[in-house]
Amino acid sequence: MTINWKLQAFILSASLWIAAPAAFGGGAEVYAKNCASCHGKDGKGETVMGKKAKVKDYTDAKVQASFTDAEALKMILEGKEKMKAYKDKVTEAEAKELVAYIRTFKK
Ligand code: HEC
């Protein structure tokens, strides 16, 4: 029985390990790598670069309402002014995950 219990615990932790990146990775990881320097880990944009570039606070519901998913997607892929295009760095699928991820900042 003890062996069985250990084996079950092992399988459980192993499957959590595998499932976690699929559930929380994607957008979060790509965001941390490419976007957090300006938009901040928490989406508030309170970073040195974010303040300089005057990025918006994505925890603010009014800011979230000011752009559609399609506009956000276009911004990420094609860029605008201070924000450069990311279409060489992220795939369209990743960009869509980024849009979904940005939506999670809203309080
Ligand atoms: C160099 C700093 C910088 C980086 C890095 C950056 N952004 Fe931006 N981002 C900006 C600025 C500045 C704006 C506002 C541009 C404007 O309205 O002219 C903006 C606008 C946006 C918008 C449109 C909504 C809005 O606030 O007007 C989205 C969505 C967005 N960024 C997502 C991202 C994502 C996702 C990444 C990573 C792939 C990223 N940004 C990386 C500076 C940055």
Tell me if 53 sits within 8 A of 38, measured CB to CB. yes
CATH superfamily of 25-103: Cytochrome c-like domain (1.10.760.10)
What is the number of other CB atoms lying within 10 angstroms of the CB of residue 72?
Answer: 19
What pLDDT is attached to residue 14? 66
Q: Quick one: pLDDT at residue 107?
A: 85
Tokens of 79: 């860029």
Which pLDDT belongs to residue 26? 75
Number of CB atoms found within 10 A of residue 59's CB: 15
Q: Is 77 in the pocket of ligand 1 (CB under 6 A)?
A: no
For the chain, the residue count is 107
Q: Determine the pLDDT at residue 7.
A: 74
Residue 6's pLDDT is what? 76
Residue 86 confidence (pLDDT): 97
Paired with 83 in beta bridges are 80
Question: Residue 64 is which amino acid?
Answer: Q
Does any ligand 1 atom lie closer than 6 A to the CB of residue 103? no
pLDDT for the residue numbered 21: 45
9 CA to centre of ligand 1 in angstroms? 43
Q: Which two tokens stand for residue 106?
A: 């809203």
Distance, CA 56 to ligand 1 centroid (Å)?
A: 8
- 10 Å CB burial of residue 53 (0-12, 13-18, 19+) is middle
Whole-number Å distance between alpha carbons of 103 and 58: 8
Q: What is the pLDDT of residues 16-70, one digit of tens each?
A: 555 544 445 679 999 999 999 999 999 999 999 999 999 999 999 999 999 999 9
* Ligand 1 pocket test, candidate residues 31, 35, 44, 63, most atoms within 8 A of CB: 35
Could you tell me if the CB of 37 is within 6 A of ligand 1? yes
